Structures are given as structure tokens and as C-alpha cells.
Amino acid sequence: MANIKDIAKMAGVSVTTVSRVINNYPYVSAEKAEAVRQAMKKCNYQRNINAVHLSKGKTFLVGVVVPFSNHPYFGLLIEGIANAALNNNYKLVLIQTNYEEVKEIEALTMLKDKQIDALIICSRICDWRVIEEFIEYGPIVLCEDAREKNISSTFVDHYKSFSAALNYLHQKGHSRIGYCIGRQSGTNSEQRDAAYKDFLKKNSLTYNPDFIFSGCFNFEDGEKVVTDLVQMKDRPTALLVTSDQVAAGILTCCKEHGIFIPEDLAIMGFDNQPISKVMHITTLEIPLVEVGRKLFFQAMDGETVSHEEIAVELIERETV
Amino acid sequence: MANIKDIAKMAGVSVTTVSRVINNYPYVSAEKAEAVRQAMKKCNYQRNINAVHLSKGKTFLVGVVVPFSNHPYFGLLIEGIANAALNNNYKLVLIQTNYEEVKEIEALTMLKDKQIDALIICSRICDWRVIEEFIEYGPIVLCEDAREKNISSTFVDHYKSFSAALNYLHQKGHSRIGYCIGRQSGTNSEQRDAAYKDFLKKNSLTYNPDFIFSGCFNFEDGEKVVTDLVQMKDRPTALLVTSDQVAAGILTCCKEHGIFIPEDLAIMGFDNQPISKVMHITTLEIPLVEVGRKLFFQAMDGETVSHEEIAVELIERETV
DNA sequence: CTGTTAGCGCATTCAG
DNA sequence: CTGAATGCGCTAACAG
């Protein structure tokens, strides 16, 4: 395949001139520019982007770390990032970690390698100290409350929003409240658990470990929850479910087991995914696409560290 | 940041030797190797991957084109590709097209640019002729029946499987059968439509355009279908739904409208997504993760053109 | 086992 | 407005 030198030769100019027309620089005479364009067309010339990257020290690639890509929560986040990226001539490198630390380190290494210009971690698994070692190599952005840290983040204050949800449920008359969550570790989960425990304490309620269901990621995980629920003698009367998908699954399975919503069990979802609207699930809206967009722009602005808190909104429907 | 030359100088060897230890070549004396390793550690050396790429003419990046990433169908496909890729030291570049032709061309251009080593198109929007122009630049793999074409593909024969599903429904006593589909164009959709029309003809049934619902991608799209259904005087008695998500949405909304499944309406999904199991939806299983895996390996094997047909399996549950 | 040297393809001073 | 020369960081003949 033809390279810039070939084109230069063919057009009877220097490589510099070719480079200039490729990059739309001014100060090239019309005739030479035209000659170059002719030559390029004739050879079906395409510049080697790797050479550009090497030369410029930039790749226009941004890495995105997610545990799974086939999950609506991350799907929406990715969508937001992808759209912003594409509009800014950036491409996305998706790193699916399955929550394996090694994969996340691989992603970090890509930043160090300069294979990507910046890294967005949608859900962190590595310890903060290992992340820290990489910040000198390029912008790293987190989707969790990192106000204490010296890297940018876009996040919802899960302590605050979980508290709000809890209080909402309480004021609706519930005092036996449980919650469903994905993984138990992680900043977000820890914030929620803290909110939960503080809520309990404040209202002099006792902590019941059976009321906490972890490993709840997808619709189908709602089935396990209901299976457990059915076998409990003292069931919670309300459930805070950190994903609308799971809430939908619970709702569906409850119907099968004759558990009426919200009479027997109040359910509150999270995210305001489309499914929650169809199923009339009361939920806490999180504008994930917008979060993704913001994450991207923070990743682009490697200079300044900023922390954007995203407001959530309670959407009252029919499951509480 | 230190480069290979600095390390060479520091270790008192040549760059080649440094390169050799970096790449674990044999034939390097233990002492020199050790000296190099020391120097690398001391400088926290990291090789610039772009230089490697330029030098080798390879990027270990494979592009994946999907219309949306937050869709369970593509999510599963991506998962399969991503896992295979990661196990083979390849990274994934995700190109979300939203079914815009330009985006797909951008992806094709990345191949031409040599920014990616191969391209997997999970759902094609471009005309075949434009794809064709790019095959000289690197392996392009399609997830659709491309047996007539000179590029590799992994696919299910949608004509065959749709026919099988139709016959199954027919033999269950249905003759008023409709179907729900994502987009109407595209190889897969056309194959299905052909199967549908042939089925109708063979059984002397009349074609009713109202029985075809397009734009059905997600759970929430089931709502529209049911809204339409409710207003029809002569409803179909069975629906073939090309996505379990949509089937689940239809099922859920039907319940709300007092339409009993399968008595009033039989529903058959596609893919055998987890949600179909929870909701007991009869479906046609497509091993998407496996499809993704195969796509990746075809993309890697740029030499040979192969076509892998994937068998589907009918999973009988309770909605037919 | 080791080093020299010539690319990989392009961008970018710096003179003219 | 133009081009020669240099560098980006690394790999891979090739010669020893």
C-alpha cells in the first residue's frame, strides 16, 4: 500500500506538502494541493494511523472498563460515553472485566502503554492504591464518589439517595425494609449499606441480614430473591432494589407466587430504565446516558480534576 | 518517560538486547538480561505500544460493530467476542452505529487505517457493495448468512429456523400467526420474511400486514405491540417474537389487558435469554456467546473464508 | 550471544 | 508557500 512518500513522489512534491494537504493546512498552492489529491485518489491512499499516533503521542482512543457489557446499567453508561466519544472523533476500547482485578490492571496498563489516551472506570474492582499508581500516565475517571481523591468523577451520592428512598418507604408505613444489591463491595455499595444501617439506627430498627440480597444484577436474579422470600417466615414489607431489571424480575415472580405488589410487598427500583415504566415500578431515576457523557468529557479534560454529583429523582408509580 | 534507548544506555547494552528481554527472546546472557530488567524497573519503563504497532504493522485490536450496545442480543454477542478476545491478547474496539451508515463506514475506515486488525460486523447496515471495497484491507466477518459472499460468517439460517417455528405453531393449531421484528431490512429480517410468506403460501393463508410488528427491540417495545393488538378486531392467535425481551414485554402487558397466554395468544420468543426462562417463554435458543466466540476466531483467521451455520433449538415452555 | 543499522509512516521544526 | 532533515519508539535483518 502506498505511503506518504509514494504520494509525494507521484505528485512531484515533498512529503511535507502531502502531509499539509492531508491535514488541511493552509499555505499550499492550489495546483500542488490538487496534484496531491489526484495522487492520493489514484493510489487509494490511506494514511497509517499508527504512524500518526506514534508521531503525535496520542491515539484518540479512550478505554472504558465495565464488569459486563450485557447489563442495562452499563449498557446505558456505555451508550452515553460512546455517543460523546463518536461526536469528538474518539473511539472506544471496551474492557470487560467480569470483576476480575487482572483485567482492570490490563486496562490501566493500556493507559501506561499509551494505547489509550484516557481511561473511564465504570465500576472499580482494584484497590484505590493500585489505581493511584497509574494516574501519572493519563486521565483516569471514576463513576463513583471520588471527592476525596485526586482524579475526576461523576457519581450519584448513594448515601444520600438511598437514605431518601428509605425514608420515603418509612413514611409510607414500612419498617421492615430490605434491599437487593449487585455486589456488596465497592464504593457505591458501601455507601448504600452505610445509609441502610444509619437509617435503621435512627429509627431504632433492628438489622436483619436476611433482608439483604446480594448478587442481584439481572432480571433473572429476581427469581432467587422471591424464592428466598417465599420461604421466610417474617418477610420484609418493602424492598429497595438497586436495579430496575431485578425489580422487574421480582415483580414477575411475585405474581406467580401470589405475592401482591404493593400490598404484600412494596418494591422500589433504581435507574428508571424503560422496563420500570412498562411495569409501573416506582423508581429512583439516574440519568445514566448523561452520566456517561460527563464521564467522557472529564476524561478528555485531563488537566483539571472535577467531581460532578448527579441528582436523582424519585418517580412514583405503582409498586410502593 | 524513558524509552528503549535510555534503558539500553543505562544497562550498558544495545537497544536490540533490551528489545530481546522485553519480548522474552532466548539468547540473552543472564547478566545482561538482569541488568536490563534492573534498568527497566528503576525507570519504571513501559514500552510505547504505538511504536510496536507501527513497527509490526499490527495492533491487536479488533473492531466490533453493533447498532446498540445496551441490547441483550448484542450484549451476549459482545460478551462472547470479548471473552475470546481477552484470552488471545486482543482488545476490542466497540463501534456503536445506531444503525447509521456513516458510523459503519468509520469502522471500515479504521480497518483501512490499520487501526484495527480485523472487523466484526454484528449487524450490517451498509450495502454489501461498500463492504466489499474494504475486504482488501483486512478480515471482515459478518454475523449473517454470507455463504454467497467471499468473507467469513457465523450465522443462523433464519429462513430455516423461522419456518420451523412457524410450522410448530401451525401444528399446534394456529393459522393466524403474526411476528414481531426489530428492523425490517437486513439479511436476517429478509430471510425471516421470506420464510413467513412461503409458509403462508404453502398453507394457503392470507397475508395480513397488520400481523407484522416492526421496531421491536426491547422489553418496552412490547407495550406498543399490545396496544395495537388490543385495538384489532381480528387478532392473531400466535406471535413469533424475534427477541425474548420483547416477548417478555408483550407477555407482561397482555396480563394487564386480560389477554391470556397461551389461550388467547401464543407467544414464541427467540434467543433463549435468561428472562425467557424466568417467564416460562417458549423460545428458540441461539447460543449467542458461542456465536461471538466463533466470530472472533474467524476474524483472527484472515486467511481462510469460512461459513459457520449455528443450529438453533426449540425450547418448549408455557407460552405456546 | 550481541550490536549496528535500517526501516515502520508520518509530523514538524527550521531554513529558504 | 515549500522542502530537507530529524525524530517518535520499537523491531528485525544482518553481521559479527
pLDDT tens-digit profile of B263-315? 999 999 999 999 999 999 999 999 999 999 999 999 999 889 999 999 999 99
Grid cell for residue A151 = 482524579
> What pLDDT score was predicted for residue A164?
97
Looking at the structure, do residues B280 and B164 belong to the same domain, yes or no?
Answer: yes
**A78, B94 Cβ separation under 8 angstroms:** yes
Looking at the structure, do residues B169 and B93 belong to the same domain, yes or no?
Answer: no
Over 90: is that where the pLDDT of B198 sits? yes
Q: Do A78 and B70 touch (CB under 8 A)?
A: yes
The answer to the question of residue B319 being in a domain is: no
The answer to the question of residue A94 being in a domain is: yes
Task: Please give, rounded to a whole number of angstroms, the shortest distance from the CA of B46 to a CA of chain A.
Answer: 6
Task: Please give, rounded to a whole number of angstroms, the shortest distance from the CA of A253 to a CA of chain B.
Answer: 8
Q: What is the average pLDDT value for chain B, to the nearest integer?
A: 94
**B205 is near strand D: CB distance < 7 Å:** no
Dist CA B52 CA B54 (whole Å):
5
Looking at the structure, do residues A148 and A95 belong to the same domain, yes or no?
Answer: yes
B103 touches chain A (CB under 8 A): yes
**A48 is near strand D: CB distance < 7 Å:** no
A113 touches chain B (CB under 8 A): yes
Nearest to B192 by CA among B155, B229, B224: B155
Q: Which residues of A28-48 are buried (b: 16+ CB within 10 A; e: fewer)?
A: beeebbebbbebbeeeebbbb
Domain count of the fold of chain B: 3
Dist CA A147 CA A163 (whole Å):
19
> What pLDDT score was predicted for residue B144?
96
The answer to the question of residue A77 being in a domain is: yes
pLDDT tens digits for range A182-207: 999 999 999 999 999 999 999 999 99
Q: Checking DSSP bridges between strand A212-213 and strand A238-241, what pairing results, if any? A: unpaired
Dist CA B129 CA B124 (whole Å):
12
**B153 is near strand D: CB distance < 7 Å:** no
Looking up residue B138, the CATH number of its domain turns out to be: 3.40.50.2300
Over 80: is that where the pLDDT of B149 sits? yes
Residue length, chain B?
320
Nucleotide nearest to B30 (CA to C1'): C1
Looking at the structure, do residues A166 and A262 belong to the same domain, yes or no?
Answer: yes
Inter-helix orientation angle A4-11/A30-43, to 10° = 130
Dist CA A79 CA A60 (whole Å):
18
**Could you give the percent of chain A with pLDDT greater than 90?**
75
Over 90: is that where the pLDDT of B1 sits? no
> What pLDDT score was predicted for residue B221?
96
Nearest to A115 by CA among A61, A65, A66: A61
Over 90: is that where the pLDDT of B244 sits? yes
Over 80: is that where the pLDDT of B163 sits? yes
B139 touches chain A (CB under 8 A): no
Looking at the structure, do residues B150 and B293 belong to the same domain, yes or no?
Answer: yes
Dist CA B134 CA B108 (whole Å):
7
Looking at the structure, do residues A109 and A202 belong to the same domain, yes or no?
Answer: no
Over 90: is that where the pLDDT of B224 sits? yes
Dist CA A239 CA B73 (whole Å):
29
Dist CA A317 CA B94 (whole Å):
36
3-state SS assignment for residue A309: strand
Close Cβ partners of B232 (under 8 Å, ≥ 6 residues apart): B210
Nearest residue for D1, CA–C1' = A27
**B48 is near strand D: CB distance < 7 Å:** yes
**B247, B72 Cβ separation under 8 angstroms:** no
Looking at the structure, do residues B75 and B119 belong to the same domain, yes or no?
Answer: yes
The answer to the question of residue A54 being in a domain is: no
pLDDT tens digits for range B55-71: 988 888 999 999 988 88
Looking at the structure, do residues A65 and A107 belong to the same domain, yes or no?
Answer: yes
Looking at the structure, do residues B175 and B244 belong to the same domain, yes or no?
Answer: yes
Looking at the structure, do residues A28 and A75 belong to the same domain, yes or no?
Answer: no
> What pLDDT score was predicted for residue A302?
84
Task: Please give, rounded to a whole number of angstroms, the shortest distance from the CA of B55 to a CA of chain A.
Answer: 9
Over 90: is that where the pLDDT of B114 sits? no
Amino acid at B317: R
Nearest to B73 by CA among B297, B301, B270: B270
**A110, B46 Cβ separation under 8 angstroms:** no
The answer to the question of residue A316 being in a domain is: no
Amino acid A5 CA to nucleotide D5 C1' distance, rounded Å: 14
A103 touches chain B (CB under 8 A): yes
Which residue in the block uniquely carries the three cell numbers 461459513? B307
The answer to the question of residue B76 being in a domain is: yes
A79 touches chain B (CB under 8 A): yes
Window 29-58 of A: residues touching B by CB (8 A cutoff) are 46-51, 53-54, 57
Could you tell me the residue range of the domain that residue A18 belongs to? Answer: 4-47
Nearest to A181 by CA among A144, A147, A224: A224
User: Taking CB atoms and an 8 Å cutoff, what residues of chain A touch B292?
Assistant: none
Dist CA B268 CA B179 (whole Å):
9
B5 touches chain A (CB under 8 A): no
Chain B residue at shortest CA distance from A47: B113
Nearest to A171 by CA among A269, A271, A266, A252: A266
The answer to the question of residue A214 being in a domain is: yes
Please, what are the averages of pLDDT over each run of 10 residues along chain A (320 residues)?
87 90 86 90 88 88 91 91 88 90 92 91 96 92 96 96 97 97 95 97 96 96 96 96 97 95 97 94 97 96 93 96
> What pLDDT score was predicted for residue B43?
86
**Cβ pairs A/B, distance under 8 A:** 145
The answer to the question of residue B320 being in a domain is: no
Looking at the structure, do residues A38 and A72 belong to the same domain, yes or no?
Answer: no
Looking at the structure, do residues B34 and B76 belong to the same domain, yes or no?
Answer: no
